[in-house]
Amino acid sequence: MIGNLCFGIIHAAEAGAACSQGQDVFTSCRIEGRNTEVLVCHDDQFATYSYGSIGQAPDLILSETIANLDFRPWSGLGKAIVESVIFYNQGYSYEVVGGFDRPFSDEEMQREDWHFGWIDIAQNGNTLGRLDCVPETVSYAFGGGLYDAKLAARQEWDEGTQSWVPVLDQTTPPPVLMEHVYQGIVQDCLPASEFRFDGVQLGDPLEKLGKLGSPEATDEIAFSGHRMDRMTVPGLQIDILHELVVGMVSTSPDWDTPSGLRVGLSRDEVIGILGRMPSGQADNGHEILSHVCLDTQKTAITWSAVIGFGQADRVQSIRFASLAP
């Protein structure tokens, strides 16, 4: 009997709400001290979150594709089996956690508190509070389910970055993040060719930008102490110094790099293109920073790239900059 706990829905009592036809439950429960319940369901394409009063229409329903779903599988360590999903909505995040302590005896099987769950609520990354589940109402599906749906979406869990990354095959381009040895130190870097948005590259002369318009003077001062000019087109800002492109900021998915980096991608998609997180950087940081791989281009030595994340952990901007035009 104990061995059968590794698969299927682990529960003590149904929370009350039910998934739509064709969907399976990931986790559900009633909330302690409130007349409310939470339910997370999924099929092979979408996952949904619903929260509201027991027996009533939900107050909040959120949906996300399986490919973009922020699902954290069990690590495989410890007595407790625990997994979670995070849904995002207008700056708020709702992390729904479900799990159970694995019973190793018949006596432990008789306990009523070996299931657990909760909802962690945050706004713009700042924790607002936690809603605990009533243990005996927790339903939690372990062994397949969301994990298999992720695999079917051609993704695999990477322990190093604690994220889902695309499965590489013969049609998948190689990772764009590279390693470069400089003065005996191995550094992560991006190739100089990656510092380009469509036909505009860092270091380009002003004469190549004629079709985009004319730059205007700004009050911003470059590191060299000189005032910069700026050209602005929909979704792209281009900074110019000494008639060379010294900076670019993309805020629109219409502008992408040769590898496909662009505004709107999820963090997992960015890591999939890069191949991994740059060494020493937090997996859940607000930015990913990288420098150019040193080569024969002296102007490229001080090039840097910053990928900024915003709502729903998606790319909000991509910034290229040069300190030495």
| Res. 310: pLDDT tops 80 | yes
Asked if the model's pLDDT at residue 26 lies above 80, the reply is: yes
pLDDT tens digits along 111-149: 655 789 999 999 988 999 999 999 989 998 876 789 999
The whole-number pLDDT of residue 48 equals 96
For the chain, what is the mean pLDDT? 85
Which residues in 122-149 are b (16+ Cβ under 10 Å) and which e? beeeeeeeebebbbebbbbbbeebbeeb
Provide the sign of the torsion angle of the four alpha carbons 18, 11, 55, 31, taken in this order. Answer: negative
Nearest residue to 74 via CA among 26, 114, 22 = 26
Residue with tokens 């505004």: 263
From residue 34, give the alpha-carbon distance in Å to each of 29, 114, 120. 11, 21, 15
Q: Is the pLDDT of residue 231 over 80?
A: yes
Q: Where are the alpha helices (DSSP H) in the chain?
A: 106-109, 146-152, 267-274
Residue pointed to by tokens 């952990």: 313
Q: What is the pLDDT of residues 182-227, one digit of tens each?
A: 666 778 899 999 999 988 999 899 888 877 878 888 877 766 667 8
Q: Which residue in the block uniquely carries the two structure tokens 């996300």? A: 64
Q: What is the pLDDT of residue 42?
A: 95
Q: Which candidate, 45, 6, 53, 9, places its Cα nearest to that of 27?
A: 9
pTM metric for this prediction: 0.57
Predicted confidence (pLDDT) per residue in 200-209, tens digit: 999 899 888 8
324, pLDDT greater than 80: no
| Identity of residue 133 | C
Q: Which of residues 153 and 299 earns the better pLDDT score?
A: 153
Q: Which of 44, 43, 45 is nearest to 21 (CA)?
A: 43
Residues whose CB is less than 8 angstroms from the CB of residue 82 and which lie 6 or more positions away in sequence, other chains included? 74, 97, 98, 99, 116
Question: What's the average model confidence in pLDDT over 250-260?
Answer: 94
Q: What are phi and psi of 87, to 5 degrees?
A: -110, 145
The pLDDT tens digits of the residues spanning 35-46 come to: 999 999 999 999
Contacts (Cβ under 8 Å, ≥6 apart) of 63: 46, 47, 48, 49
Q: In the predicted model, what is the mean pLDDT of residues 11-36?
A: 81
Bridge partners of residue 116, in order along the sequence? 99
Where does the pLDDT of residue 297 fall: very low under 50, low under 70, confident under 90, or very high at 90 and above? very low
Q: Which residues contact 225 (CB under 8 A, 6 or more apart)?
A: none
Lowest mean pLDDT, pick from 47-51, 175-179, 255-259, 321-325: 321-325
Query: Is pLDDT at 274 greater than 50 in this prediction?
Result: yes
For 50-76, the pLDDT digits (tens) are: 999 999 999 999 999 999 999 999 988
Which of 70, 48, 86 is CA-nearest to residue 271? 70
N-terminal to C-terminal alpha carbon distance within the chain: 70
- Which residue reads 């998948």 in tokens? 172
* Confidence (pLDDT) at 71: 95
DSSP code of 313?
G
Alpha-carbon distance 241 to 203, whole Å?
Answer: 10
The pLDDT score that the predictor gives to residue 227 is 84
Which residue, 215, 178, 211, is CA-closest to 193?
A: 178
